[in-house]
Structure 1
Amino acid sequence: MAKRRIFAGSQLRNLRDGRGLKQSEMAVLLGISVSYLSQLEHDDRPLTPTLIEILSRDFPLDWQEFEEDTTTRRFAALREAASDPLFSTPLSVDQLTRIAEQQPALADQFVALHSAYRRTGERLQIVDEALSSENAGGSRLPWEEVRDWFHMAGNYVDQLDRAAEELATRLMGKSISPSAENIESYLREALAISLIYSANAGLRQFDQEAGHLVIDQSQPAESQRFQLAHQLVALALLDDISAIVEAAGLRSASSRQLLFVGLANYAAGALLMPYNQFRLEARSLRHDIDRLRQVFGVSFEQACHRLSTLQRSGARGLPFFFCRVDMAGNITKRHSATRLQFARFGGACPLWIVHEAVAIPDRILVQLAETPDGVRYVSMAKGLVKPSGSYARAPRRYAVALGCEIEHARDFIYADGLDLTSPHAATPIGASCRICPRGDCDQRAFPPSDRPIIVDPDRRDVVPYRIA
């Protein structure tokens, strides 16, 4: 079989220019000579499998756009699946290359099998945690069912995302995101909705028969705009949303109604932060949330959540995990496009920076963390306070966290200044005490559910038992 020959001179030059690197600096990163790099950039020589491996490893976000060749995409998917901590010995670049080129059907089946393995593990975790949370029947409450639907959908709904992006194009004009004024005009003129801003009406109240919408004027401007966007997509994209709800197979009317609300919120975010514009801007700003929210006129949380949804095939964003934690440590929103999976019941690991962030609003905290499987993550967390608009109502306090695996640190501005190379720099965290296998954690609240404990009356450590 003929070896594939990949010439990517213009892509390499664009990558190097985008990073502001000289040829000598780029050559050092690739482990080649300057003359060799020059030949590559002028398409005098093709990329080798080793160089493809280095580029996909060190520049994953940039390199994924160059993977036009079917075998190259297969190689990338195979490399990702084979790097699972489940396998103690990783396959070499040469082995991966031979499998991708000489056994394409086997490679595709391996990738599909690994994907099914991960999905099955996630479903088993749902059942296991339901049983351990005294839900013996394994049934889920409506909000749990909807949360798990979004998780299994990868937190990306292609049909709805594209419909919202198309609608945004009609509303944006020359701006990068639809303005509140343009959304208001569309509601009034295209959908015949009357609109008023008033206090004490809830965040949003819509009278469907009268076609009357009331928005709480005490909300911050970005929250008011989001509520407008929610109502617009709930009406303009009604058929798309309803079709998705119908196909979801949820068991109760409450679950279906909650899913409708969740999908309308998803579409509202996609309307205000259209996929392609948002993804390109996020990359150029190295995923700086404060700058992104200024560009698109959204809240800090809205920008974080949108980053976690950029999973469109062929144009993926950085794979993030995202969650929101309240003052009691409960995770009220969660999604992960990384190998990190949150516990579905209870709170998060107490060693995770997000808990400190709740107590320190409006300050960004960063952390390098390592999970029990040895994977390292860069986390950013910020405490937020949502005003209630009245002294009689307490403001809502919570924190949001966003993070990625260490291999993407180059594209995540919050990794700047962290020591990513020291073996002792990472904080050891787990998903939750109930499923964390670490036996030497001083912050453990209770033992893992699948391990017995050993109690020694004559010995007392910080934790009054040892994990067997």
Structure 2
Amino acid sequence: MGNRQRIFAGQQLRILRERRGLKQADLAQQLAISPSYLSQLEHDDRPLTPRLIERVARLFPLEWQDFPGEDTEQLSLLLREAVADPIFDTPTPPDTIARLAEQQPAFARRFVELHGALRRANQRLEMVDEALAVDSHEGARLPWEEVRDWFHLSNNYVDLIDRAAEQLIAAIAGQDAVPTTEALRAHLRQEHAITVDISPADALRSFDAGEGVLRIDSGQPAASIRFQIAYHVAATTLGDAIRDTADAARLRSEVARELLTIGLANYAAGAVLMPYGHFRKAARAFRHDVDRLALHYQTSFEQTCHRLSTMQREGERGLPIFFCRVDMAGNITKRHSATRFQFARFGGACPLWIVHEAAAIPDRILVQLAETPDGQRYVSIAKGLVKASGRFDRNPRRYAVALGCEVRHASEFVYADSIDTVSAQAATPIGVSCRICPRADCDQRAYPPSDQTIAVDLFRRGVVPYEMSR
């Protein structure tokens, strides 16, 4: 391997083992080595070999990001993720990947870049295909759809804004600190001569630039009031980063750019309240327990779920999850997936997915092991939420949020502790939507699949009034 830097990671291996509650023999078995060999590794008597690096990165992908390494090791990890794509029929040996990253780094980086471009191109094609399938046509996207797709293709992470937010909070509250509401108000008062007035009002948030007063309706929950203040802190202090990002997006209309600007300001508000590095560390310590995180950061359940979906910084990624918000009519109004889980862009989601049940049962977390048609399993949670209108003559807003991860990450997801993730019969078979789901034996269908021919028998009736032609 030439002048390859040897990696000693004894402390990290020991912390990983203790955090998981594993004995040396248990971790040694998972790594396919002897306990004595693991003991030598933990005492830095021996370095990690390329094959061991691959095993640790595969078994503990989140923890591996905190292990010491050099650019070559990070490149090896990225290359390993790229060649693991299902489009490649046979796996590439770890030693081959390590040699490529070390001896041909330019080729390895180009391969990783091309794989990323392929994924983005496929996502765009899927968007066009789905639009055509519902009698739409390319170029007819509404402004809010264009903004939604922009966030999706950006992997729901905006590096410029996230890093600027971290620097801002370090200045306001100190390093590794969570900003208090009073600290945010003091920042507006001292840096921008803006006074925050929390009192009954017609609008949730309004700003009088002439008077220098930010008015926030006191009828909102404390977490919402805190978010409104953070939004104005972000919009005023991080305005240049927000506008630069919106201008660089090159959206088709001025309306879409304005909507993106608001969306980026909301994103920045979440980054202000839940700074990336601090939040990522806490999420892993709490095993992604949303209620614990929301209590720690004084945020709402939905705000916390949304922030978990943005942990996509290169080299410091969080748990790969999917997140969405669904209203009572089944419309998906927010969505993002860092997994292979896909959402329907048009029409309702699968009726067997627990998010629909959760919308009717507020303030209770439902957990489900779901399996998609490609055979992938996910641990999924959903919680119904109610936003009160504050008035008798206005109905409250009812909806549900869903969050989930692939079953291979179940040990990092506290909600998986309550379900059986092993049994073949434990998973609920779900699809993206009835229009494109290939499951021929599902009795919950609203429509037949659009790519199959159906057969109807005048004298035979099943649960659904048609059968798939064989």
Deviation at 1:117, TM superposition (A): 2.1
- The 3 A distance-change label for structure 1 pair 92 and 388 is same
- In the other structure, the counterpart of 1:447 is 448
1:50 is aligned to 51
Distance 1:362 1:52, change over 3 A: same
Structure 2 CA distance for aligned equivalents of residues 434 and 67 of structure 1: 47
1:344-355 alignment, distance < 5 Å: 344-355=345-356
1:411, distance to aligned residue in structure 2 (A): 0.9
How far the C-alpha of 1:92 sits from its partner, in A, is 4.3
User: 1:180 — aligned with what?
Assistant: 181
- Structure 1's 382 and 61: CA in aligned 2 closer, same or farther, altered over 3 A? same
Quickly say closer, same or farther: Cα 1:390–1:151, change in 2 above 3 A: same
Amino acid at match of 2:18: D
Q: Which residue of 2 aligns with 1:26?
A: 27
Number of the residue aligned with 1:204: 205
Report if the CA contact (8 A) 1:176-1:296 is conserved.
Answer: no
Distance in structure 2 (CA, Å) of the matches to 1:184 and 1:171: 10
TM-superposed CA distance for 1:444, in Å, is 1.8
* Higher deviation after alignment, 364-373 or 89-98: 89-98
Structure 1 residue runs of 5 or longer lacking an equivalent are none
Matched residue, 2:231: 230
Q: Secondary structure of 2:45's match?
A: coil
Give the TM-score of the pair, scaled to structure 1. 0.94
Q: Which residue of 1 aligns with 2:324?
A: 323
Are 2:227 and 2:269, in contact at CA under 8 Å, matched by a contact in 1?
A: yes
Return the offset for 1:83. 2.8
Distance 1:56 1:170, change over 3 A: same
Partner of 1:434: 435
Q: 1:435 offset after TM fit, Å?
A: 2.2
> Separation in 2 of the partners of 1:13 and 1:390?
56
Provide the secondary structure at the position in 2 that maps to 1:440: coil
In the alignment, is the contact (CA less than 8 A) between 2:128 and 2:138 conserved in 1? no
Please tell me the residue identity of whatever aligns with 1:31: A
User: Which residue does 1:249 correspond to in 2?
Assistant: 250
**Preserved contact between residue 442 and residue 463 of structure 1 (Cα < 8 Å):** yes
Change (3 A) 1:251 1:208: farther
Q: Indicate the larger mover: 164-173 or 225-234.
A: 164-173
Kindly state the Cα deviation for residue 126 of structure 1 after the two structures are TM-superposed: 1.3
More divergent stretch after superposition (194-203 vs 388-397): 194-203
1:324 aligns to what SS in structure 2? strand
Q: Quick one: higher RCO (CA 8 Å, sep 6+), 1 or 2?
A: 1
Kept in 1, the 8 Å contact 2:9–2:68? The answer is: no
CA displacement, residues 256-315 of structure 1 (integer Å, 9 cap, x when unaligned):
111111011000000011111111111111111111111110001111111111111221
> 1:89 and 1:434, CA in 2 relative to 1: closer, same or farther beyond 3 A?
farther
2:2 counterpart letter in structure 1: A
- Asked if the contact 1:127/1:138 (under 8 Å) is kept, the reply is no
Paired AA for residue 369 in structure 1: A
Shift of 1:397: 0.9
After TM superposition, give the deviation of residue 57 of structure 1 in Å. 2.0
Deviations 1:37-79 (A, max 9, x none): 1112123333234322321122111012226233332332233
Paired amino acid for 1:83: A
Cα-to-partner distance string for 1:176-223 (whole Å, 9 max, x where unaligned): 322222222222232122332232422111233443321111000010
Moved more, 53-62 or 203-212: 203-212
Match of 1:2 in 2: 2
Q: Distance in 2 between matches of 1:454 and 1:198?
A: 63
Aligned partner of 1:83 in structure 2 is 84
What does the per-residue CA deviation read over 1:433-463, in whole Å, with 9 as the maximum and x for residues that have no partner?
2222222222221123333333344443323
Give the residue type in structure 2 aligned to 1:314: G
**Pair 1:452–1:91, CA change in 2 (3 A):** farther
Which residues of structure 2 form unaligned runs of 5+? none
Matches within 5 A, 1:155-194: 155-173=156-174, 176-194=177-195
Per mean C-alpha deviation after superposition, the further-off stretch among 417-426 and 220-229 is 417-426
Judged with a 3 Å threshold, the aligned counterparts in structure 2 of structure 1 residues 138 and 462 are, in CA distance, closer, same or farther, namely farther
**291-300 or 83-92, larger mean C-alpha shift:** 83-92
2:324 touches 2:334 (CA, 8 Å); kept in 1? yes
Q: Report the AA paired with residue 2 of structure 1.
A: G
Structure 1 residue 102 displacement after superposition:
5.5
Measured in 2, the distance between the counterparts of 1:327 and 1:254 equals 27
SS of the aligned residue for 1:190 comes to helix
Asked if 2 retains the 8 angstrom alpha-carbon contact of 1:67 and 1:73, the reply is no
Q: 1:419 corresponds to which letter in structure 2?
A: D
**How far apart in 2 are the matches of 1:2 and 1:373?**
42
Shift of 1:128: 1.7
Structure 1 residue runs of 4 or more that deviate by more than 6 Å after TM superposition: none
Aligned to 1:218: 219
Report SS of the residue matched to 1:420.
Answer: coil
Tell me the alpha carbon deviations over residues 327-379 of structure 1, each in whole angstroms, 9 at most, x when there is no partner. Answer: 11111100111121212222221111111111111111111112222221111
Question: TM-score, length-normalised on structure 2?
Answer: 0.93
Shift of 1:122: 1.0
